Amino acid sequence: MADGFAKFISLDMSVSDPAGGQSLRGFALKMVFISISLSIVVSLAVICIGNALRILPLPVLDAVFYSVAMGWIVGGLVAGILCTVLGRAIRDLRESQAEFERLSKTDTLSGLANRRAFNQVFEDITGDASLAIFDLDRFKSINDNFGHGAGDMVIKRVASAIEDVFGDFHCVARLGGEEFGVIVCGGDRKDRVALIELARVRVACLSVNFEGHLLQTTVSVGVAEIEANRSKHDTFAIADKALYSAKAAGRNRLCHGDAYHARSEIDSGLARPLQAAS
């Protein structure tokens, strides 16, 4: 019974996880209840002391009645004001915390998820998904010839083009620099690869107008299947190796790492680019 009462009057509240604590309304009601109860208890204690010393200015029952009434009025009013102010502060804190959490997982330049958010999603994927790594071709020449402002604009436009293809259902992130990562979920392997190829083509068709100059770029893409019996480290390594093969084969193409990864375990270990998965 004592534990139940202690839990009832508990003012513990989770700011980061509202579901893990009590609501603001419950918190406010408990605050008012506790404030009024303490006010009445203190008043009754003062009445008992005053009655014992025979200094009460009015009869005991009248004093008790007035103390209870004033406890409800004054205690409730003060507690209500404090709860209102505190509730607004907690609500603002929750909103700020949620915004901070969102920003901590967002790449500021592209608006996509950042590497931290990508890694969290990647670790939770168990199957029926493909990992694709996009890397802009000859991006350094854009920065060297037109400046970093042009490079930033190209990254923004490429990020928007890739995101338009995959939408919100798949995880699209900027991994750093001119490299993007996509986790394509669901469907058949050939459908996932076709969607990745569509994103590659969409980027190749982009024209970015920067200070009167039309800038164009392409991407090379390395793909690997996410499988339950394969570690995330190995999956990323296979996709990264496929990306290298796409670069070596002339850029602006998609290479699926699983095709040559399986063969490399049999023969010489040479990676062979694949234009489209079967």
List, as one string, the DSSP characters of 218-272.
Answer: -EEEEEEEE-TTS-HHHHHHHHHHHHHHHHHTTSSSEEEHHHHHHHHTTSS----
**CA–CA separation, 170 vs 117, rounded Å?**
13
274/278 Cα distance (integer angstroms)? 10
User: β-pairing, 254-256 with 219-226?
Assistant: parallel
- Token pair in block for residue 34: 């506790």
Active site residue 178: yes
Write out the two tokens for 236: 């990323």
Calculate ∠ Cα 97-99-100, nearest 5°: 65
Strands of the chain (E only): list them. 129-136, 171-176, 179-185, 208-210, 213-215, 219-226, 254-256
State the CB neighbour count (10 A cutoff) for residue 122: 19
**Selected catalytic residue, list 95, 123, 178, 179:** 178
Alpha carbons 70 and 65: distance in angstroms, whole number = 9
| φ/ψ (deg, to 5) at 274 | -125, 125
Collapsing DSSP to helix, strand or coil, 168 comes out as coil
Task: Extract the tokens encoding 167.
Answer: 């939408």
Backbone angles phi, psi at 147, to 5 degrees: 95, 165
List active site positions: 178
